[in-house]
Amino acid sequence: MRRIVEIQKQLLPDVLETLRKRHVVLQHIMLSGSVGRRTLASSIGMTERVLRAETELLKSQGLIEIEQAGMRISETGKQLLADMEPFMKELLGLTELEEKLRTAFGLRQVIIVPGDSDDSPHVKLELGRAGAHMLRRSTEAAKHAVVAVTGGSTMAAVASQLTASGTLKGLLFVPARGGLGESVELQANTIASTMAKKTGGQYRLLHVPDHLSEEAYQSLIQEPGIQEVLADIRKASIVLHGIGEAKVMARRRRVDARVIEDLEREGANAEAFGYYFDRKGQVIHKMPTLGLRLEDIKSMDTVIAVAGGTSKGEAIAAVLRYGHEDILITDEAAAQQIAEWI
């Protein structure tokens, strides 16, 4: 396929550009569910006049439906997008980049979606869709698995893209760690419960703050109710998690200013599960928090990291260097940044 794409780039560059443009329109309509022409034009940086012509063509091909409430993708359109995915990845050079990252970090699989989630909420939704698809695939052989999930906007995007299926119905979703203190919609508890409700699964909640003093940690860990939930969390065979920039995450979680200074001095670059990593992937700091520990994660069947955006490229590379991921789902912008650090 790669050779065919190269030939087409040389002989039919205008056709390929048109193909890419229509793919973007179709993909945005799918991710939006239902969207008006003006909103879509603004979202993808296209004039309404040009977009009208494109959507009329897509409608004539039976790929979208145009209603008074907005445009929505048809089942034929969804199938076409799925069929186009390998070709579009080859066209954009993402297939080669996926293999480069997979080999460099010894991963089972890498999935890269086009675009930059820092700039486009639709790219973050596409990350969510890819994460939801990978979760379904990972649970096919384990219909009664325990799935641990972290908080954050990317995990919320994954939750938004999940739907009920026989594969997911028997799952137990649990928060990977305490999360009270963040925005409610971004807490691991909220995301675990949302995933369970959308898939027909079950969930357990961990009602403790994200960061604890040592005294509070020792007190809470003795509570029978907390111990019971922690036991379920540590039974997880699949973990789905995000990756954050160290400074951003520390400030978002209201970490003490003195600790932030220590993190900066020690070269903290990334955060995951309450652990802070330097550029070499070494753990340089751990916040006292209840939930999954790195030793738990190492023994899991499948660890899926979902994170993207130009701003997170270095952070993702740092966590990958630690080496506990099996699958990485990221976007084009972050992948290019990661590749520079190999």
Structure tokens at 209: 């703050």
Q: Which of 201-215, 239-253, 259-273, 284-298 has the lowest mean pLDDT?
A: 201-215
Task: Quote the strand ranges of the chain, DSSP E.
Answer: 64-67, 70-73, 109-113, 146-149, 172-175, 202-203, 238-241, 244-245, 270-272, 275-277, 283-286, 302-306, 327-331
Name the segment(s) of the chain with CATH classification 1.10.10.10: 2-89
Q: What is the mean pLDDT of the chain?
A: 88
Whole-angstrom distance, CA of residue 170 vs CA of residue 201? 5
181 conformational bin, left if phi > 0, alpha if psi -120 to 50, beta if neither: left
Whole-angstrom distance, CA of residue 264 vs CA of residue 271? 13
User: Has residue 263 got a pLDDT over 80?
Assistant: yes
> pLDDT tens for residues 80-111?
999 988 888 888 889 999 999 999 999 999 99
The alpha carbon dihedral of 38, 43, 47, 49 has a sign of: negative
Whole-angstrom distance, CA of residue 334 vs CA of residue 113? 10
Which of 3.40.50.720, 1.10.10.10, 1.20.120.400, 3.40.630.30 is the CATH number of 2-89?
Answer: 1.10.10.10
Whole-angstrom distance, CA of residue 22 vs CA of residue 229? 47
Domain formed by 93-340, architecture: 3-Layer(aba) Sandwich (3.40)
Name the segment(s) of the chain with CATH classification 3.40.50.1360: 93-340
Q: Which of 51-65, 202-216, 254-268 has the lowest mean pLDDT?
A: 202-216
Q: Determine the pLDDT at residue 142.
A: 66
Angle, alpha carbons 281-125-129 (nearest 5°): 85
> pLDDT tens for residues 167-213?
788 899 999 987 655 678 889 999 999 999 999 999 999 887 666 66
**Any residues with CB less than 8 A from the CB of 203 and at least 6 apart, and which?**
172, 173, 174, 192, 193, 195, 196, 197
